[in-house]
Amino acid sequence: MIDKFKAAFREESFELLSQLEDTLLELESQPRNGELINAAFRAMHTVKGSSAMFGFETISKFTHEIETVLDHCRNGTLPITKDFIGLTLKARDHLRRLLEFDEPPPQELAHDGDALLVRYRDYAASGAGLKPPAQAGAETAAGAAPAAPVAAPQGQGHADAGPATYRVFWKPKPGIFRDGTKVLSLVDELASLGDGHLYPHTECLPPLESLDPESCYCYWDAVLTTAKSENDIRDVFIFVEDNSELKIERLEEPPLDDEGRSKRLGEILIERGLVTRDSLREALGSQKKLGEVLVEKKIVTKPEIESALVEQDHLKKVQEKSELGQGSIRVASDKLDALVDLVGELVTLQARLSQTSFEIKDGPLASISEQFERLIAQLRDNTMSIRMLPIGSTFNKFRRVVRDLSLELGKEAELLTEGAETELDKTVIEKLGDPLVHIIRNSLDHGIERPDARQSAGKDRKGNITLAARHSGAYVLIQVTDDGKGLDKEAIYSKAVERGIIAPGQEMSDGDLYLLIFAPGFSTAKVVSSVSGRGVGMDVVKREIDSLGGSVSLSTEPGRGTTVTLKIPLTLAIIEGLLVRIEDEHYVIPLSSVDGCIEIKREELAAYGDRRILSYREELVPFVSLRGAFETPGAEPEIEQIVIANSQDMRVGFVVDQVVGDYQTVIKPLGRMFKDVEGVSGATILGDGTVALILDVNRLAAAVQRDGLRRSAKGVER
Amino acid sequence: MPTAKNETPKIINLSGPLTVERAQPLKTELLAALAGKGPLLVSLSLVEDLDLACLQVLYAARKSAAASGKEFHFIGSVPSRIVKRLQAAGFLQGAPERAEDFEAELVDF
């Protein structure tokens, strides 16, 4: 039993330590941010408390000393320097290692811990800064932030109570444009204070003929949930106080009622002073929706109702969010994997059920099967959504990579992130870690210039690497962009020739040339560094991303920087597929890459002769006969069908006997025996128990391009 | 579209920063266009910036068009910079790229 608790403690501590890392990195850029110091202190304090409870004495003692020093920082008696952050990051790494062992930990770990504590004691004793460690690193060069008392967390009367929700009404006076006030920027600033909804009112706008283009007619209602105080909100409008009307009101969050609503529309309207209780009661007497009645009776306007509904919606979301945290539980990930496997089996079984019911033409059974199908689809979507994690959970790891590596390389760089909330399947996220580290290391090592070089090129001394993620259909696009020197075309070309990857004098497009950096054994670094430049990085990236069913592309601009884009499928377990048939064999084409299907008579197809390019939506599309490509015996039917699929940067047609229809495809990996089979990414089990291969559209398309449809010619011209 | 066949639409391609200084000329241009018979189609594809003054002119033009039974639509794509700006100020909830979605989502338009 105690082992179970220990496992839970470890898991929770890993999470705390990963948050701590994030906090420390942020603290480095804002050393006086009181909330961040508090967060670091709290993390350390929690680890200390629970480690003592579960008998991890070494951890408890270690964290106790650090906690003491952090407490001094919190009170402002010790400064937060770059060195201190570096030391605490090391302490965090040490804790991470300690957690791997039971008590007592191995001797050398205990020794490492003691060495770290000595440095902490020195730091506390000096009161001003750290003594450099024996092996002085680049860190010691960093300056210390002055020892000023840390600012107390902001807020008015609810400092530690968490965020509050405010109702803000702001009406600029008509003449506000004449001062040069940027109204939208102020509204933007207001929105950036927290999570909220703004409702602009445009109903005062006259028709164009009588509009004074230099007068402001719009005003805003906003509901904002923020950790900032009322004064902070007021500060946004401080320069336009005389030129506008501002009302700020703190909203209490009432509990949700039986219907899951936080506050009724009528209550909001009364609070806003838009209706009286009497008119509300009268309106409620009719059977129509309250908002409609009030608008009909001209008690309030439609925008006023809309705006109140926005507030209602916002309050509900805030409420749900705060309840979400309480309602979540921790589940071991292997249980989740088992669940997905079971759902996969169910989907397969369901396919058999619907096929059987179709074959025996039994009415009641068919209706059961249909209901079953709907339920299974819901179960599948639900299970998949449980596996989805925000990609942001891995971002802090990369920030640490950038921080440590830039110190090592003597460069200045910062990692900016966008789209941390983008969700991806757990297994995909796990497999993305290493490729992303490789790409980021490469950007930092080869892309970002040294500070002096950047300065003389007219850039900021500090380079930026942006890691951005966003959804795009059934894919997630992940981009790593640096503002460094860009790729060196000539260097890549000559290196590729030197390595025998291309022939001397071979002509190629810029795009193809840049992609050479993903070729095995390629490296342009003149000096092999410990970081990258062994030429084992980028080809591994390509291989890993390919194995995820994704693709890599690259764009660069000399002197301006480089962007590497990864296109990754959302999930690896179950996909929507298009089932096609050639003779008796079935194949699945991932539906996400299917653009359309067309029918074509055999003789028409033959008429294309050697060209094997057809016109599809005013675009020339190469096509390949899968019968030919897979050397399936038998004769083609009179009318064949062509599935047009999107590959990375082109469309390709696949000629098949018949398009059967869409199919829930549970992906089963092919054994290692088949790992070199080109054009097939996996297999699935059909309703009748037979196996269908899943086609790898990207590989097939590449093969079409590469061997000029040589093999497919056999199929078409037979 | 239920427009009469003979009426050729008037297309207005706006470009550059649409800031308060451009509000008066924009009003004049749109008024002139509204005086014509056909529907009015406005493209924001090349607009670099849009402030409240010019946004108000567009809203007012739509109001006038509706009052006189004329059609007023956006066409083409809408630059993401503009979409982001209007999103931040509450005029848009989603992030439409195409003009028809933009028009449909714009609050009270």
Q: What are phi and psi of A680, to 5 degrees?
A: -130, 130
Answer whether B59's CB lies under 8 Å from B25's CB. Answer: no
| Pairwise CA distance, residues A465 & A402, whole Å | 9
- Residue B50 has what pLDDT? 92
pLDDT band for A423, please (50, 70, 90 cuts): confident
- Residue A253 has what pLDDT? 63
- CB contact under 8 Å between A199 and B107, yes or no, is yes
- Residue B30 has what pLDDT? 92
Using the Cβ of B23 and the Cβ atoms of chain A, whether some distance falls under 8 Å is answered with yes
Answer whether A396's CB lies under 8 Å from A22's CB. Answer: yes
- Residue A495 has what pLDDT? 83
Helix (H) or strand (E) holding B103, with range, is helix B99-105
- Residue A707 has what pLDDT? 60
| Pairwise CA distance, residues A456 & A476, whole Å | 37
Q: Identify the CATH number of the domain defined by range A391-569.
A: 3.30.565.10
- Residue A609 has what pLDDT? 64
Residue numbers of A between 166 and 195 with CB closer than 8 Å to B: 177, 182-184, 187-188, 191-192
Using the Cβ of B67 and the Cβ atoms of chain A, whether some distance falls under 8 Å is answered with yes
Q: Which residues of B touch A206 (CB under 8 A)?
A: 60, 63
Answer whether A294's CB lies under 8 Å from A283's CB. Answer: yes
Cis ω for the linkage preceding A172 (within 30 of 0): no
- Residue A480 has what pLDDT? 93
Interface pTM (ipTM) of the complex? 0.92
| Pairwise CA distance, residues A50 & A52, whole Å | 5
Residue A558: C-alpha distances to residues A445, A450, A561 (Å): 16, 16, 7
Q: b/e per residue, A665-682, with b = 16+ CB within 10 A?
A: bbbeeeeeeeeeeebbbb
- Residue A312 has what pLDDT? 82
Q: Indicate the domain borders of chain B.
A: 10-105
| Pairwise CA distance, residues A280 & A294, whole Å | 8
> Could you say which of B61, B107, B109 has the minimum Cβ distance to residue A208?
B61
Using the Cβ of B106 and the Cβ atoms of chain A, whether some distance falls under 8 Å is answered with no
Which token pair is A424?
């991806």
Q: Which residues of A touch B32 (CB under 8 A)?
A: none
Q: Indicate the domain borders of chain A.
A: 2-141, 164-325, 333-389, 391-569, 574-717
Residue A597: C-alpha distances to residues A582, A589, A709 (Å): 15, 12, 20
Using the Cβ of A47 and the Cβ atoms of chain B, whether some distance falls under 8 Å is answered with no
- Residue A261 has what pLDDT? 58
CA angle, A233 as apex, B83 and A213 as ends, to 5°? 50
Answer whether A683's CB lies under 8 Å from A694's CB. Answer: yes
Helix (H) or strand (E) holding A188, with range, is helix A183-191
| Pairwise CA distance, residues A366 & A544, whole Å | 43
Mapping DSSP to helix (H, G, I), strand (E, B) and coil, where does residue A690 land?
Answer: coil
Q: What is the pTM of this model?
A: 0.48
Mean pLDDT of A167-177: 91
| Pairwise CA distance, residues A610 & A605, whole Å | 10
State which amino acid sits at residue A138.
Answer: A
- Residue A81 has what pLDDT? 85
CATH homologous superfamily of A2-141 equals HPT domain (1.20.120.160)
Answer whether B40's CB lies under 8 Å from B8's CB. Answer: no
- Residue B60 has what pLDDT? 93
Mean pLDDT of A301-306: 83
pLDDT of A152 above 50: no
- CB contact under 8 Å between B64 and A207, yes or no, is yes
- Residue A487 has what pLDDT? 86
Using the Cβ of A240 and the Cβ atoms of chain B, whether some distance falls under 8 Å is answered with no
Choose the most confident range, by mean pLDDT, from A121-135, A147-161, A434-448: A434-448
Which token pair is A615?
């016109």
pLDDT of A371 above 70: yes
pLDDT of A141 above 60: no
Mapping DSSP to helix (H, G, I), strand (E, B) and coil, where does residue A273 land?
Answer: coil
CA angle, B47 as apex, B44 and B53 as ends, to 5°? 90
Q: At what angle do helices A34-53 and A2-29 cross, to 10 degrees?
A: 160
- Residue A142 has what pLDDT? 38
Nearest by Cα to A678 from A659, A665, A654, A697 = A697
Contacts of A40 by beta carbon, 8 Å cutoff, 6+ apart: A20, A23, A24, A27, A70, A88
Residues forming beta bridges with residue B75, ordered by sequence position: B43
The total of other beta-carbon atoms located within 10 Å of residue A312's CB is 18
Nearest by Cα to A310 from A430, A229, A196, A421 = A196
Q: What are phi and psi of A458, to 5 degrees?
A: 80, 20
Which token pair is A625?
């006969």
Percent of chain A surpassing pLDDT 70: 86
pLDDT band for A340, please (50, 70, 90 cuts): confident
Write the DSSP string, B15-49.
Answer: EEEE-HHHHHHHHHHHHHHHHSSS-EEEEEEEEEE
Helix (H) or strand (E) holding A29, with range, is helix A2-29
CATH homologous superfamily of B10-105 equals STAS domain (3.30.750.24)
* A169, A190, A211, A422, best to mutate vs chain B, most B CBs in 10 Å: A211
Which token pair is A574?
């179950």
Contacts of B83 by beta carbon, 8 Å cutoff, 6+ apart: B92, B95, B96, B97, B102
Write the DSSP string, A196-265.
Answer: EEEEEE-TTPPPGGG--TTS---EEEEEEEESS-HHHHHHHTGGGGGGEEEEEEEEP-PPP-TTS-SS-H
| Pairwise CA distance, residues A226 & A204, whole Å | 30
pLDDT of A127 above 70: no
Using the Cβ of A128 and the Cβ atoms of chain B, whether some distance falls under 8 Å is answered with no
- CB contact under 8 Å between B91 and A197, yes or no, is no
**Looking at per-residue confidence, does A106 or A571 come out higher?**
A106
> Could you say which of B34, B60, B90 has the minimum Cβ distance to residue A220?
B90
Nearest by Cα to A330 from A118, A56, A13, A554 = A13
Residue B25: C-alpha distances to residues A711, B41, B53 (Å): 64, 17, 12
**Strand A463-472, strand A413-418: pairing:** parallel
For A482-512, how does the pLDDT look when each residue is reduced to its tens digit (9 = 90+)? 998 888 888 888 888 888 788 888 888 887 7
Q: Identify the CATH number of the domain defined by range A164-325.
A: 3.30.70.1060
* B30, B51, B52, best to mutate vs chain A, most A CBs in 10 Å: B52
Tell me the H-state helices in B36-93: 52-67, 80-88
- What is the DSSP code (8-state) at residue A176? G
- CB contact under 8 Å between A202 and B59, yes or no, is yes
Nearest by Cα to A133 from A122, A147, A145 = A122
For A37-86, how does the pLDDT look when each residue is reduced to its tens digit (9 = 90+)? 888 888 888 888 778 777 788 888 888 888 888 888 877 788 888 888 88
pLDDT band for A659, please (50, 70, 90 cuts): very high
Residues forming beta bridges with residue A615, ordered by sequence position: A620
Q: Which residues of B touch A218 (CB under 8 A)?
A: 52, 56
> Could you say which of A184, A191, A197 has the minimum Cβ distance to residue B52?
A184
The total of other beta-carbon atoms located within 10 Å of residue B4's CB is 8
Mean pLDDT, all residues of chain A: 80
Answer whether A170's CB lies under 8 Å from A245's CB. Answer: yes
- CB contact under 8 Å between B90 and A198, yes or no, is yes
- CB contact under 8 Å between B53 and A191, yes or no, is no
* A184, A244, A418, A470, best to mutate vs chain B, most B CBs in 10 Å: A184
- Residue A149 has what pLDDT? 40
| Pairwise CA distance, residues A560 & A515, whole Å | 18
- What is the DSSP code (8-state) at residue B98? B
pLDDT band for A145, please (50, 70, 90 cuts): very low
Per residue, the 3-state secondary structure of A391-452, as one string, reads: CHHHHHHHHHHHHHHHHHHCCCEEEEEECCCCEEEHHHHHHHHHHHHHHHHHHHHHHCCCHH
- CB contact under 8 Å between A205 and B26, yes or no, is no
**Looking at per-residue confidence, does A150 or A2 come out higher?**
A2
Write the DSSP string, A615-675.
Answer: EETTEEEEEEEHHHHTT--S---SEEEEEEEE-SSSEEEEEESEEEEEEEEE-BPPPGGGT
Which token pair is A474?
């059934």
Using the Cβ of A100 and the Cβ atoms of chain B, whether some distance falls under 8 Å is answered with no
- Residue A258 has what pLDDT? 53
One pLDDT digit (tens) per residue for chain B, 109 residues: 444 445 788 889 999 899 889 999 999 999 999 888 888 999 998 898 999 999 999 999 999 998 888 889 999 889 988 998 898 899 988 888 888 889 888 888 8
Q: Which CATH number is A574-717's, of 3.60.15.10, 3.40.50.300, 2.30.30.40, 2.60.40.1240?
A: 2.30.30.40
- CB contact under 8 Å between A207 and B60, yes or no, is yes
- What is the DSSP code (8-state) at residue B63? H
**Strand A219-226, strand A195-201: pairing:** antiparallel
Tell me the H-state helices in A297-362: 302-327, 333-360
**Maximal C-alpha separation, chain A:** 90
Nearest by Cα to A594 from A649, A647, A545 = A647
